[in-house]
Structure 1
Amino acid sequence: MGSTALEKRKSTAVSGHTVSPADEPSAEWGWHGTFRVGTPAAGIFVGLAMFAMLIGNHEGWTENLWLIGMGAGLLAGVAWMIHKRRTSWRR
Protein backbone atom coordinates (compact mmCIF):
# COMPACT_ATOMS: atom_id res chain seq x y z
CA MET A 1 0.00 0.00 0.00
CA GLY A 2 1.38 3.43 -0.89
CA SER A 3 2.00 6.04 1.76
CA THR A 4 0.06 9.25 1.83
CA ALA A 5 1.53 12.72 1.74
CA LEU A 6 0.79 13.15 5.44
CA GLU A 7 2.76 10.01 6.32
CA LYS A 8 5.67 11.19 4.15
CA ARG A 9 5.64 14.59 5.86
CA LYS A 10 5.62 12.96 9.31
CA SER A 11 8.49 10.65 8.38
CA THR A 12 10.63 13.53 7.09
CA ALA A 13 9.93 15.54 10.24
CA VAL A 14 10.96 12.63 12.44
CA SER A 15 14.04 11.68 10.43
CA GLY A 16 15.36 15.26 10.45
CA HIS A 17 15.45 15.79 6.69
CA THR A 18 14.83 19.25 5.32
CA VAL A 19 11.44 20.14 3.92
CA SER A 20 11.21 20.72 0.21
CA PRO A 21 10.12 24.25 -0.77
CA ALA A 22 7.77 22.64 -3.29
CA ASP A 23 5.84 21.04 -0.40
CA GLU A 24 5.87 24.10 1.82
CA PRO A 25 6.69 27.35 0.00
CA SER A 26 7.25 29.20 3.28
CA ALA A 27 10.15 26.84 4.10
CA GLU A 28 12.19 28.66 1.48
CA TRP A 29 12.24 31.89 3.46
CA GLY A 30 12.05 30.32 6.91
CA TRP A 31 8.68 31.28 8.36
CA HIS A 32 6.69 28.50 10.05
CA GLY A 33 5.08 30.22 12.98
CA THR A 34 2.13 32.34 13.88
CA PHE A 35 1.77 36.00 14.68
CA ARG A 36 2.55 35.70 18.38
CA VAL A 37 1.87 39.37 19.18
CA GLY A 38 -0.39 40.35 16.29
CA THR A 39 -3.15 37.82 16.92
CA PRO A 40 -3.87 38.80 20.55
CA ALA A 41 -3.44 42.48 19.73
CA ALA A 42 -5.97 42.26 16.90
CA GLY A 43 -8.37 40.28 19.13
CA ILE A 44 -8.17 42.87 21.89
CA PHE A 45 -8.63 45.71 19.40
CA VAL A 46 -11.70 44.15 17.80
CA GLY A 47 -13.15 43.21 21.21
CA LEU A 48 -12.83 46.79 22.42
CA ALA A 49 -14.22 48.06 19.10
CA MET A 50 -17.34 45.97 19.78
CA PHE A 51 -17.83 47.84 23.04
CA ALA A 52 -17.20 51.17 21.29
CA MET A 53 -20.06 50.34 18.90
CA LEU A 54 -22.46 50.50 21.85
CA ILE A 55 -22.34 54.27 21.45
CA GLY A 56 -24.66 54.86 18.54
CA ASN A 57 -28.13 55.68 17.36
CA HIS A 58 -29.74 52.26 17.73
CA GLU A 59 -32.76 52.09 19.99
CA GLY A 60 -33.26 48.43 20.90
CA TRP A 61 -31.33 46.27 23.33
CA THR A 62 -30.95 43.40 20.90
CA GLU A 63 -27.97 45.04 19.20
CA ASN A 64 -26.42 45.89 22.55
CA LEU A 65 -26.71 42.32 23.80
CA TRP A 66 -25.07 40.94 20.65
CA LEU A 67 -22.26 43.50 20.80
CA ILE A 68 -21.61 42.86 24.50
CA GLY A 69 -21.76 39.08 24.08
CA MET A 70 -19.49 38.96 21.06
CA GLY A 71 -17.01 41.45 22.51
CA ALA A 72 -16.85 39.60 25.84
CA GLY A 73 -16.53 36.27 24.03
CA LEU A 74 -13.70 37.57 21.88
CA LEU A 75 -11.81 39.00 24.86
CA ALA A 76 -12.35 35.75 26.80
CA GLY A 77 -10.98 33.80 23.83
CA VAL A 78 -7.88 35.99 23.69
CA ALA A 79 -7.37 35.57 27.44
CA TRP A 80 -7.72 31.78 27.09
CA MET A 81 -5.24 31.74 24.20
CA ILE A 82 -2.68 33.74 26.20
CA HIS A 83 -3.21 31.48 29.23
CA LYS A 84 -2.74 28.33 27.13
CA ARG A 85 0.43 29.72 25.58
CA ARG A 86 1.95 30.54 28.97
CA THR A 87 1.14 27.20 30.59
CA SER A 88 1.69 24.85 27.64
CA TRP A 89 5.14 23.74 28.83
CA ARG A 90 3.85 22.68 32.26
CA ARG A 91 1.75 19.74 31.04
Structure 2
Amino acid sequence: MGKTEVERYTGVDEVEVPSAKWGWSAENPRVLHFIGIFSAVLLLLMTHGNHVGHVEDLFLIIFAVLILGIVARDWIARSRGWYR
Protein backbone atom coordinates (compact mmCIF):
# COMPACT_ATOMS: atom_id res chain seq x y z
CA MET A 1 0.00 0.00 0.00
CA GLY A 2 1.33 3.44 -0.89
CA LYS A 3 1.92 6.32 1.43
CA THR A 4 -0.73 8.96 1.82
CA GLU A 5 1.75 11.60 2.99
CA VAL A 6 3.25 13.99 0.49
CA GLU A 7 7.02 14.29 0.73
CA ARG A 8 8.31 17.81 0.91
CA TYR A 9 10.58 18.74 -2.00
CA THR A 10 12.97 21.61 -1.31
CA GLY A 11 14.67 21.60 -4.68
CA VAL A 12 17.89 20.24 -3.16
CA ASP A 13 19.01 16.65 -3.32
CA GLU A 14 19.58 15.48 0.26
CA VAL A 15 22.20 13.00 -0.91
CA GLU A 16 24.40 15.84 -2.19
CA VAL A 17 23.57 18.30 0.60
CA PRO A 18 22.94 16.43 3.87
CA SER A 19 22.16 19.65 5.76
CA ALA A 20 19.08 20.20 3.57
CA LYS A 21 17.23 17.82 5.85
CA TRP A 22 17.54 20.45 8.63
CA GLY A 23 16.79 23.38 6.33
CA TRP A 24 20.36 24.72 6.16
CA SER A 25 20.86 24.39 2.42
CA ALA A 26 20.55 28.11 1.57
CA GLU A 27 22.91 30.97 2.27
CA ASN A 28 22.02 33.51 4.92
CA PRO A 29 22.39 37.06 3.51
CA ARG A 30 22.41 38.69 6.95
CA VAL A 31 25.43 36.66 8.01
CA LEU A 32 27.22 37.43 4.76
CA HIS A 33 26.50 41.16 5.13
CA PHE A 34 27.72 41.10 8.73
CA ILE A 35 30.94 39.30 7.73
CA GLY A 36 31.54 41.82 4.94
CA ILE A 37 31.03 44.83 7.21
CA PHE A 38 33.15 43.24 9.94
CA SER A 39 36.03 42.53 7.54
CA ALA A 40 35.88 46.09 6.15
CA VAL A 41 36.04 47.50 9.68
CA LEU A 42 39.02 45.26 10.44
CA LEU A 43 40.78 46.51 7.32
CA LEU A 44 40.17 50.10 8.36
CA LEU A 45 41.45 49.36 11.86
CA MET A 46 44.67 48.07 10.31
CA THR A 47 45.45 51.54 8.99
CA HIS A 48 46.44 52.50 12.54
CA GLY A 49 49.88 51.04 12.91
CA ASN A 50 53.57 51.72 13.10
CA HIS A 51 54.34 51.66 9.37
CA VAL A 52 56.06 54.67 7.81
CA GLY A 53 54.68 54.61 4.28
CA HIS A 54 51.04 55.23 3.55
CA VAL A 55 50.79 53.03 0.46
CA GLU A 56 49.54 50.24 2.72
CA ASP A 57 46.84 52.54 4.08
CA LEU A 58 45.69 53.33 0.56
CA PHE A 59 45.31 49.64 -0.33
CA LEU A 60 43.50 48.89 2.95
CA ILE A 61 41.05 51.74 2.38
CA ILE A 62 40.45 50.73 -1.26
CA PHE A 63 39.72 47.12 -0.30
CA ALA A 64 37.45 48.20 2.58
CA VAL A 65 35.46 50.49 0.27
CA LEU A 66 35.26 47.71 -2.33
CA ILE A 67 33.89 45.25 0.26
CA LEU A 68 31.38 47.80 1.56
CA GLY A 69 30.30 48.54 -2.02
CA ILE A 70 29.66 44.86 -2.71
CA VAL A 71 27.69 44.51 0.53
CA ALA A 72 25.65 47.64 -0.25
CA ARG A 73 24.90 46.44 -3.81
CA ASP A 74 23.79 43.05 -2.53
CA TRP A 75 21.65 44.60 0.21
CA ILE A 76 19.94 46.99 -2.24
CA ALA A 77 19.43 44.25 -4.83
CA ARG A 78 17.82 41.92 -2.29
CA SER A 79 15.57 44.66 -0.88
CA ARG A 80 14.33 45.57 -4.37
CA GLY A 81 13.75 41.96 -5.33
CA TRP A 82 16.33 41.82 -8.13
CA TYR A 83 17.33 38.41 -6.82
CA ARG A 84 16.58 36.30 -3.78
Show the counterpart of 1:54. Answer: 47
Count of matched residue positions in the alignment of Structure 1 and Structure 2: 75
Identity between Structure 1 and Structure 2 (%): 33
TM-score between both structures, scaled by the size of structure 2:
0.75
Two-structure CA RMSD over aligned residues (Å):
2.3
1:38 — aligned with what? 31
The Cα shift of 1:58 comes to 0.7
Q: Which runs of 5+ in 2 are unaligned?
A: 1-7
Q: For 1:45, what is the secondary structure of its paired residue?
A: helix
TM-score between both structures, scaled by the size of structure 1: 0.70
Shift of the 60–29 alpha-carbon distance from structure 1 to 2, 3 Å rule, reads same
- Unpaired runs of at least 5, structure 1: 1-16
In 2, Cα distance between equivalents of 1:66 and 1:76? 15
Which of the two has greater helix per residue? Answer: 1
Structure 2 equivalent of residue 21 of structure 1 = 14
